[in-house]
């Protein structure tokens, strides 16, 4: 239906003022839907990945802290675009390098060093570092479980990197709904 404005009355269509109200209501409805969609997209904390993606790490580019690092990979998958990704270890929260107090910053350096050592030792010994990506967070990082598989033929157990960080006391449990049990001041107490 095409509505044209009547030059004499200013109304749209043959419906008197109803045409104006219908047009305004339609415009308002469209604007409301657009605003709702934009808000949902901006506030959505994660981008779900339909099935977990197993990524074999080619190299470790940079370790930012005890729960975040950057990798390169040769894994090809329709969800992944590119060869370089920042990874956030799932379900843990390490102290921040720019933390609130000297104690937190000290723990953060220890956590970063432990993660750096584990990843570098794994790649130096030709072990397979695997990221099983679960989703992308609001910063575009791949969030997933990180495993170190021993070199084929050498035996040994698979190492869950997140569990090691927790067991060493250099990370706390974390969920996508925020820190469990309000750990905001944990490192500084």
Q: What is the pLDDT of residues 111-158, one digit of tens each?
A: 999 999 999 999 998 899 999 988 889 998 999 999 999 988 778 899
The string of pLDDT tens digits covering residues 6-64 is 555 555 455 455 445 444 544 444 444 443 333 333 334 456 666 788 888 989 999 99
Burial class (CB in 10 A: 0-12, 13-18, 19+), 95: buried
Q: Whole-angstrom Cα distance, residue 180 to residue 149?
A: 29
In this structure, the chain runs to a length of: 189
Bridge partners (DSSP) of residue 86 are: 70
3-class SS string, 8-35: CCCCECCCCHHHHHHHHHHHHHHHHHHH
Whole-structure pTM value:
0.71
**3-state DSSP assignment of residue 156:** coil
The string of pLDDT tens digits covering residues 62-91 is 999 999 999 998 877 766 767 899 999 999
Q: Whole-angstrom Cα distance, residue 142 to residue 71?
A: 11
**Residue partners of 169: CB distance under 8 A and separation at least 6:** none
CB atoms under 10 Å from CB of 39, counted, come to 10
User: Mean pLDDT, the chain, as a whole number?
Assistant: 78
CB atoms under 10 Å from CB of 30, counted, come to 10
CB atoms under 10 Å from CB of 78, counted, come to 6
**3-state DSSP assignment of residue 114:** helix
Radius of gyration of the chain (CA): 26
**3-state DSSP assignment of residue 126:** coil
E strand or H helix that includes residue 42:
helix 17-43
pLDDT confidence of residue 46: 56
**Residue partners of 65: CB distance under 8 A and separation at least 6:** 94, 95, 96, 97, 108, 111, 112, 115
């Amino acid at each position: 239906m095409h509505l044209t404005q009547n030059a004499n009355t200013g109304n749209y269509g043959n419906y008197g003022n109803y045409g104006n109200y219908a047009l305004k209501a339609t415009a308002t409805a469209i604007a409301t839907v657009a605003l709702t969609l934009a808000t949902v997209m901006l506030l959505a904390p994660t981008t779900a990945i339909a099935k977990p993606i197993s990524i074999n790490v080619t190299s470790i580019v940079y370790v930012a802290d005890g729960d975040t690092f950057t990798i390169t990979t040769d894994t090809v998958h329709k969800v992944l675009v590119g060869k370089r990704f920042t990874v956030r270890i799932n379900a843990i929260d390490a102290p921040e390098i720019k933390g609130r107090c000297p104690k937190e910053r000290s723990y953060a350096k220890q956590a970063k060093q432990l993660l750096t050592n584990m990843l570098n030792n794994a790649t130096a010994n030709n072990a397979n570092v695997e990221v099983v990506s679960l989703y992308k967070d609001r910063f575009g990082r791949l969030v997933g479980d990180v495993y170190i598989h021993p070199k084929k033929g050498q035996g040994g157990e698979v190492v869950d990197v997140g569990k090691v960080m927790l067991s060493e006391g250099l990370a706390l449990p974390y969920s996508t709904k925020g820190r469990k049990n309000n750990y905001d001041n944990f490192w500084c107490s």
